[in-house]
């Protein structure tokens, strides 16, 4: 036992602070929190907390428990204290765990888990041994408490448990022990045993897999346990086994499947949810599709039945109220993390491989690995047509979504009958679950469902009149899932029968008197906007009037979603928003909100993001509103940089939120794109100078700030180059530094924007400009390795290729000697990109390089010709360059050209002959 003893004055001060912490007044709480934080600098603070927890039985249990809670939260301090203090804290929590009433024992148990996590079990083997011994204690409460500690530790850090200590692996004797205890007469002990064993499956623990057959036998034995907690952990273990070692379950799959189907219908929802996870995991693994396929006819209808709201959901949702005038609770509004704008290139539709944004089976965005959306969406961000936490209904919808992608029309064939019964049921809960299922299957089954949409879309539009708000809200979401079909410009009849009624129906829901319906309507309408694009232009006035009226009607949470819908509308219709009548409708409510928010109000972030889209769309028509917007953004950037400077000088301060800085830079990018040289007067009138602040942002330690700053450089180069030019020597040095062939994941978007912006700057300097020429070799020396790097993200390859082409267009004599190094990789990076001006200028650059150094393309001729014939409508100038180069190759050596072309794939030969006569 350690010889550490507390100082009476220090003990009293900490004790009094803990007593004061029970005061519920906000200002007292803040002061106490600050004081408790200062205690962490006291070298033996954790020993005092352990002493209060363990050695002061005369204190109230609440005070001792708070000390235990603080000890858990400060467990990492153990790594930096003297051996004497650490020894005391460790022995004290073990003593409290063994000899205390339940409340104190529970707090000590949490401390032991935290200590084991911080120290790692290999540095506290005595603790593991004592806990194992307690599993045989004659005291059932101590037995169960020790196993509870094991369960939490095995769940939180199984890898740290699976180690060798002093020549032996504790798991080698713990696993057999857990297997024996799975037969214990106490249900809680059996539950802990199965749970502990299951947590070692995902890490492929050899200590567990040495007993894999005994483990599986244990699961089958416990499968019919009377205790739902035990059955839940059995289901969880089978799910983990299916993900990690499916081959172990396949011989028994018929029995496992029967059990899981039975358990998915368990009256205990936690058991049913774990069993439902099994089908989601099964469906997500393409290698298991052949095993799942024979079960489809039985699994899908069970999942469909799981999608009905449970009684608890309905109580929680309180879905029938007209609550539009009821203010939101602040706890209803989830934090959203703004990530900044990224420059990317669109790929051809036919070759995009489903790259466009998709919505998942619960209304959340599903993002491809390389895509970064402005907001990070976590599990809690699934659309609120289901309750906020993961539950059986959501899990079943997710599983159905994945099954639809995996089996398409076969799933629809299985569900057609049950789905029809639900959709046309007289019971509203049945109808609601059928509509959810229809939406969940949208992505995977679209080809099979499409023939039915002429009936289903009018059904969904009609369902928007349902008296039940939960039915109206799910109908909105499902209409959003089929928005791309509704918005197809097939015919005038299609538009009048499906697109216009869907648009009108969703706009009605945007103004519903139920907040949940408003949210679902607004989100679905934003999806419709994305899919419809310019098709919305003829209807802009009524759309804008509806959205603006919603600003007057909405409470806090839905207003944030409305900003997104307005910004998406601006992106969709573009410069059509310049119409003075539309500006007059939209801008007053936005500026009114803008005026009410302080510079540090979190609601300013989505509003600024919305206005950024509006400024790009309105262009010069935004001018009357530009000065206050510009000035405020510059002020926010200036204040944010000062706050960050203060934080760097004093790390004890909280790190400032970068979101305000990032979104202000992005709004200035929007102004630069929308107003171009009209910005000159604004920059002149504003202090401090934007371009000086921008140079500081380019060096900011946080990647999202640099990312948005590089985007602003590119947008300023495009819109008002003459204002940017005097600052470019300092800016270019930072841009070159940022170009990295293998950036860390968090730097990819910043690197992308840097690669794009150097190309924009090169174009604006013009042909053979002597000032830019000094940067050509350093840039090419960075961009070519990015283009050739096999692990660089595709978006980075594309932006690097465009900028190499543009720099080559302006400085061909410097870049052309490098052509043989990068020609093939360059053509591969850009041949799939959709025709646009960026691609056009890049290809004109490549053609100029080929004209300058014809031998440089010799080994990459096939790829060059493939990239040429992938164009749909090159500009007249580019098409002429293609013609000239190809004809030149042919006339230079007709026999050699003919021999080479004859080896090309037939489609390339055919298009070269048809378009260019070669």
- The highest-confidence range among 180-194, 309-323, 359-373, 828-842, by mean pLDDT, is 180-194
Rg, C-alpha atoms of the chain = 32
Spatial CB neighbours of 259, under 8 Å, sequence gap ≥ 6: 223, 238
d(CA 743, CA 602): 30
- Write down the pLDDT at residue 338: 59
Please tell me the predicted confidence (pLDDT) of residue 774: 95
pLDDT range class, residue 318, cuts 50, 70, 90: low
Q: 620: which DSSP letter?
A: G
pLDDT in the model for residue 654: 80
Cβ neighbourhood burial of 539 (10 Å; 0-12, 13-18, 19+): middle
Widest Cα–Cα separation across the chain = 102
pLDDT for position 366: 31
- pLDDT tens digits for range 818-842: 999 999 999 999 988 888 899 999 9
If phi over 0 gives left and psi between -120 and 50 gives alpha, with beta otherwise, what is residue 834?
beta
Q: Of 445, 440, 407, 446, which Cα lies nearest the Cα of 291?
A: 407
SS3 call for 833:
strand
Q: Which residue has the tokens 């032996």?
A: 168
DSSP character for 365? E
Rounded to 10 deg, the angle between the 61-73 and 102-119 helix axes is 10
pLDDT at 349 over 80: no
- Give me the helices (H) in 535-579, please: 540-553, 556-573
- Asked whether the predicted pLDDT for residue 314 surpasses 90, the reply is no
Measure the CA–CA gap between 736 and 748, rounded to whole angstroms: 15
Which residues in 666-695 are b (16+ Cβ under 10 Å) and which e? bbbbbbbbbbbebbeebbeebeeebbebbb
Q: Structure tokens of 284?
A: 């997500």
Query: How many C-beta atoms lie closer than 10 Å to residue 461's C-beta?
Result: 19
Rounded mean pLDDT of 603-623? 93
Rounded CA separation 430/420 (Å): 11
Tell me the pLDDT tens digit for each residue of 514-564: 999 999 999 999 999 999 999 999 999 999 999 999 999 999 899 999 999
CA distance 310 to 514: 21
End-to-end Cα separation, the chain, in angstroms: 91
Q: What are phi and psi of 365, to 5 degrees?
A: -80, 135
**Sign of torsion, CA 83 89 92 94?**
negative
- Nearest in space to 282 (alpha carbons), one of 240, 318, 321: 240
Strands (E) across 101-247 are located at none
Buried b (16+ CB within 10 A) or exposed e, 564-575: bbbbbbbbbbbe
Average per-residue pLDDT in the chain?
89
> Rounded to 5 degrees, what angle do the CA atoms 739, 745, 750 make?
40
The pTM of the whole model exceeds 0.85: no
Distance CA 422, CA 437 (A): 10
Q: Which residues contact 727 (CB under 8 A, 6 or more apart)?
A: 691, 692, 694, 695
The DSSP code for 165 is B
Structure tokens at 623: 């001018």
Given a contact cutoff of 8 angstroms between Cβ atoms, the answer to whether 331 and 369 are in contact is no
Between CA 545 and CA 541 the distance in angstroms is 6
Q: What is the pLDDT of residue 344?
A: 62
The DSSP secondary structure of 758-776, one letter per residue, reads HHHHHHHH-TT-HHHHHHH
Q: Are 681 and 631 in contact (CB under 8 A)?
A: no
Q: What is the C-alpha to C-alpha distance for residues 343 and 568, in angstroms, rounded to an integer?
A: 17
| Residue closest to 863 by CA, chosen among 913, 803, 819 | 819
Contact between residue 600 and residue 561 where contact means Cβ atoms under 8 Å apart: no
Q: Do 395 and 389 meet the contact criterion of CB atoms below 8 Å apart? A: no
Distance of CA 454 to the CA centre of its chain: 34
Question: In this model, does residue 136 exceed pLDDT 70?
Answer: yes
* Residue closest to 170 by CA, chosen among 205, 202, 144: 205
pLDDT in tens, 696-712: 999 999 999 999 999 99
Mean pLDDT over 258-280 rounds to: 94
DSSP 8-state secondary structure symbol assigned to residue 348: P
* Two tokens, residue 310: 């449970």
pLDDT in tens, 452-468: 999 999 999 999 999 99
pLDDT for the residue 323: 75
Phi, psi angles (nearest 5°) of residue 592 = -65, -45
Q: Which H helix or E strand runs over 125? A: helix 125-134
pLDDT reported for residue 347: 60
3-state secondary structure (DSSP) of residue 655: coil
* Contact partners, residue 504, CB within 8 Å, separation at least 6: none
Torsion of CA 571, 574, 578, 584, to 10 degrees: -30
Distance between CA 861 and CA 384 in Å, rounded?
54
Report d(CA 849, CA 882) in Å as an integer: 12
Is it the case that residue 348 has pLDDT exceeding 70?
no
> Using CA atoms, how far apart are residues 378 and 370, in angstroms rounded to an integer?
17
Beta bridge partners of 375: 338
Q: What is the pLDDT of residues 85-128, one digit of tens each?
A: 999 999 999 999 998 899 999 999 999 999 999 999 999 999 99
pLDDT, position 343: 64
CA distance 566 to 526: 8
For residues 626 and 671, the answer to whether their CB atoms sit within 8 Å is yes
Residue 776 in this model has a pLDDT that exceeds 50: yes
- Token pair 């953004």 in the structure block, residue: 633
Q: Give kind and range of the element (H or E) at residue 366.
A: strand 365-366
pLDDT (average), residues 609-617:
94
The tokens describing 908, both together, are 């390339």
Q: Which residues contact 164 (CB under 8 A, 6 or more apart)?
A: 122
Q: What is the mean pLDDT of residues 284-301?
A: 93
* pLDDT value at 678 more than 90: no
**Is 61 in contact with 106 (CB distance < 8 Å)?**
no
CB proximity list for 496: less than 8 A, separation 6 or greater: none
User: Distance between CA atoms of 524 and 784, rounded to whole angstroms?
Assistant: 43
């Amino acid at each position: 036992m350690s010889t550490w003893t507390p100082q009476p004055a220090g003990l009293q001060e900490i004790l009094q602070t803990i007593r004061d912490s029970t005061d519920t007044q906000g200002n007292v709480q803040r002061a106490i929190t600050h004081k408790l934080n200062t205690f962490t600098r006291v070298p033996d603070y954790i020993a005092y907390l352990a002493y209060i927890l363990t050695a002061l039985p005369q204190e109230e249990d609440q005070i001792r428990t708070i000390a235990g809670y603080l000890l858990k939260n400060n467990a990492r301090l153990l790594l930096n204290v003297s051996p004497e203090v650490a020894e005391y804290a460790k022995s004290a929590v073990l003593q409290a765990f063994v000899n205390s009433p339940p409340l104190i024992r529970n707090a000590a148990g949490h401390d032991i888990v935290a200590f084991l996590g911080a120290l790692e079990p290999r540095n506290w083997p005595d603790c593991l041994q004592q806990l194992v011994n307690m599993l045989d204690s004659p005291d059932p409460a101590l037995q169960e408490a020790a196993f509870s500690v094991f369960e939490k530790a095995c769940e939180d850090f199984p890898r740290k448990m699976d180690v060798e200590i002093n020549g032996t692996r504790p798991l080698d004797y713990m696993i057999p022990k857990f297997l024996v205890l799975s037969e214990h007469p106490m249900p809680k002990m059996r539950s802990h045993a199965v749970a502990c064993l299951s947590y070692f499956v995902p890490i492929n623990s050899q200590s567990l897999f040495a007993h894999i057959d005994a483990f599986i036998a244990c699961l089958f034995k416990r499968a019919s346990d009377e205790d739902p907690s035990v059955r839940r952990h059995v289901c969880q273990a089978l799910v983990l086994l299916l993900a990690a070692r499916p081959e172990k379950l396949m011989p028994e799959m018929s029995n496992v499947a029967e059990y899981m189907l039975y358990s998915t219908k368990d009256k205990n929802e936690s058991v049913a949810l774990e069993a439902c996870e099994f089908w989601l995991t099964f469906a997500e693994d393409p290698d298991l599709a052949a095993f799942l396929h024979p079960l489809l006819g039985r699994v899908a209808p069970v999942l469909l039945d799981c999608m009905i709201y449970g009684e608890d959901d309905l109580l929680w949702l309180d879905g029938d109220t007209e609550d539009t005038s009821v203010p939101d609770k602040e706890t209803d509004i989830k934090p959203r993390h703004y990530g900044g704008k990224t420059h990317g290139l669109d790929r051809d539709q036919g070759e995009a491989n489903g790259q466009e944004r998709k919505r998942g089976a619960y209304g959340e965005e599903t993002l491809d690995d390389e895509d970064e959306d402005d907001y990070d969406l976590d599990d809690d961000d699934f659309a609120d047509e289901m309750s906020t936490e993961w539950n059986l209904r959501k899990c079943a919808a997710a599983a159905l979504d994945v099954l639809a992608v995996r089996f398409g029309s076969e799933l629809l064939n299985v569900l057609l009958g049950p789905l029809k019964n639900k959709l046309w049921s007289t019971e509203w809960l049945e109808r609601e679950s059928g509509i959810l299922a229809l939406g969940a299957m949208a992505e995977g089954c679209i080809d099979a469902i499409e023939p039915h949409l002429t009936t289903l879309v009018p059904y969904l539009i009609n369902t928007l009149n349902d008296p039940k708000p939960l039915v109206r809200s799910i109908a909105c979401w499902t209409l959003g899932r089929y928005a791309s079909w509704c918005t197809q410009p097939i015919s005038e009849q299609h538009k009048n029968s499906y697109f216009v009624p869907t648009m009108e129906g969703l706009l009605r829901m945007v103004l519903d008197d139920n907040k949940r319906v408003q949210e679902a309507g607004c989100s679905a309408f934003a999806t419709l906007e994305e899919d419809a694009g310019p098709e919305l232009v003829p209807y802009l006035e009524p759309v804008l009037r509806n959205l603006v009226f919603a600003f007057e009607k909405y409470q806090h949470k839905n207003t944030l979603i409305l900003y997104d819908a307005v910004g998406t509308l601006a992106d969709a219709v573009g410069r059509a928003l310049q119409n003075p009548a539309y500006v007059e409708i939209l801008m007053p409510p936005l500026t009114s909100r803008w005026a009410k928010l302080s510079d540090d109000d979190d609601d300013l972030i989505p509003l600024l993001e919305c206005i950024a889209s509006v400024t790009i769309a309105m262009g010069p028509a935004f001018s009357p509103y530009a000065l206050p917007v510009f000035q405020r953004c510059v002020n926010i950037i200036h204040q944010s940089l000062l706050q960050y400077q203060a934080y760097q000088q004093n790390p004890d301060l909280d790190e400032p939120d970068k979101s305000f800085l990032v979104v202000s830079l992005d709004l200035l990018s929007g102004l630069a794109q929308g107003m171009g040289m009209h910005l000159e007067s604004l920059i002149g009138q504003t202090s401090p100078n934007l371009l000086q602040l921008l140079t500081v942002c380019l060096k900011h330690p946080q990647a999202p700030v640099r990312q948005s700053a590089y985007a602003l450089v590119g947008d300023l180069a495009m819109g008002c180059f003459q204002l940017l030019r005097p600052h470019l020597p300092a800016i270019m040095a930072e841009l070159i530094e940022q170009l990295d062939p293998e950036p860390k994941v968090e730097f990819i978007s910043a690197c992308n924007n840097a690669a794009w912006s150097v190309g924009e700057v090169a174009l604006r300097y013009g042909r053979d400009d002597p000032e830019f020429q000094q940067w050509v070799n350093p840039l090419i020396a960075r961009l070519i390795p990015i283009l050739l790097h096999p692990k660089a993200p595709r978006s980075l390859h594309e932006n690097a290729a465009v900028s190499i082409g543009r720099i080559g267009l302006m400085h061909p004599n410097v870049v052309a000697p490098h052509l043989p190094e990068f020609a093939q990789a360059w053509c591969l990076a850009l041949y799939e990109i959709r025709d646009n001006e960026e691609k056009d200028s890049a290809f004109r650059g490549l053609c100029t390089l080929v004209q300058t150094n014809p031998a440089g393309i010799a080994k990459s001729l096939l790829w060059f010709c493939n990239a040429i014939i992938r164009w749909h409508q090159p500009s007249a100038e580019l098409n002429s360059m293609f013609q000239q180069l190809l004809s030149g190759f042919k006339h230079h050596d007709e026999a050699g050209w003919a021999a080479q072309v004859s080896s090309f794939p037939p489609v390339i030969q055919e298009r070269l002959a048809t378009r260019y006569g070669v």
